[in-house]
Structure 1
Amino acid sequence: MTRAPIVLTTGQELESREIGPITQTDIVRFAGAGGDFNPLHHDAGYARRAGLPDVIAMGQMQAGMLAAWVTDLVHVENLVTYSVRFASPLAIGDRLVLTGRVDDVDPTDHTAALTLEAKVDDRVVISGKARVRTASESAA
């Protein structure tokens, strides 16, 4: 079943979501699901020898959290494009706050451009862009 696009307006702030605190179990479960067994993600001694204070989550974990959040809001079948930029590591104990904004709504193709961020306090962990299908206000 395809869900209808939602109405989005230029300048609209998306409903934020908080995730965390991130646990070692979260990281290990994601490693198992994705097959990423780099020791930076599960071996504290290895991570410290590499110059990190402790293990860090894999970037794809934050990218997946950000994608899941935005598709919960707009429905996955309305996601047209999605890209991310990794900005800083996510550590055990961190709390992510996911936010987004509608930058532009194109009435000709019924899509909206979104800017997305995942932050820990004031530090950006990952930023992203998405284009999603949107309904016109007259259809709402």
Structure 2
Amino acid sequence: MSTQLAEVEVGSQAPAAEYGPLTTRMFVRYSGASGDLNPMHYDDAMARSAGYPSVFSQGMHVAALLAGYAVDWLGAENVRRFGVRFRDQVYPGDVLTCSGVVTAVQPGPEGRLVTVSLTAAVGGERTALMATADFLLPS
């Protein structure tokens, strides 16, 4: 998804990217990698007993997918801030569609501080996670 960084301006959008369908196996692997061993992410009976339709992804797993999308767009070396807001659960079989748009560009002595708004949506219907991020791009 490489973007010509010199062409980034307010309103610039990254091409949308899809991740999934997500699987319980992905949630289990993320549990092990992150140390988040909450059984709601891998024990279907436990999740159902708590009122959920099934196991669900860790919020930080979805945040990691969205962060990967953002750095593929504007470069990991350029990240200065990444903040998220969790909105909805992500279940096995869901496909995440990630999108991003530049909302501000501020020139400075070290480069351009670019602020982006990012979204991870499920099937174009539900917003699972929203984020904002700042990238310091070379002038």
1:134 partner amino acid:
L
Match of 2:118 among 107, 116, 119: 116
Partner of 2:81: 81
Residue pairs, 1:16-55, within 5 angstroms:
16-55=16-55
TM-score by length of 2: 0.91
2:131 partner amino acid:
G
1:6 partner amino acid:
L
Partner of 1:125: 128
After superposition, what is the alpha-carbon deviation per residue over 1:52-85, rounded to whole angstroms, capped at 9, x for unaligned?
0000000010010011111111111100100000
CA distance, structure 2, for counterparts of residue 110 and residue 55 of structure 1? 42
Partner of 2:96: 96
After superposition, what is the alpha-carbon deviation per residue over 1:75-127, rounded to whole angstroms, capped at 9, x for unaligned?
11100100000000000000000001000111235111100000002200000
Greater relative CO (CA pairs within 8 A, separation 6+): 1
Structure 2: tracts of 5 or more residues without a match: none
1:31 partner amino acid:
S
Partner of 1:56: 56
Show structure 1 runs of 4+ deviating over 4 A: none
CA distance, structure 1, for counterparts of residue 39 and residue 29 of structure 2? 14
Q: How many corresponding residue pairs? A: 132
Say what the alpha-carbon RMSD is for the aligned residues. Answer: 1.3
TM-score by length of 1: 0.90
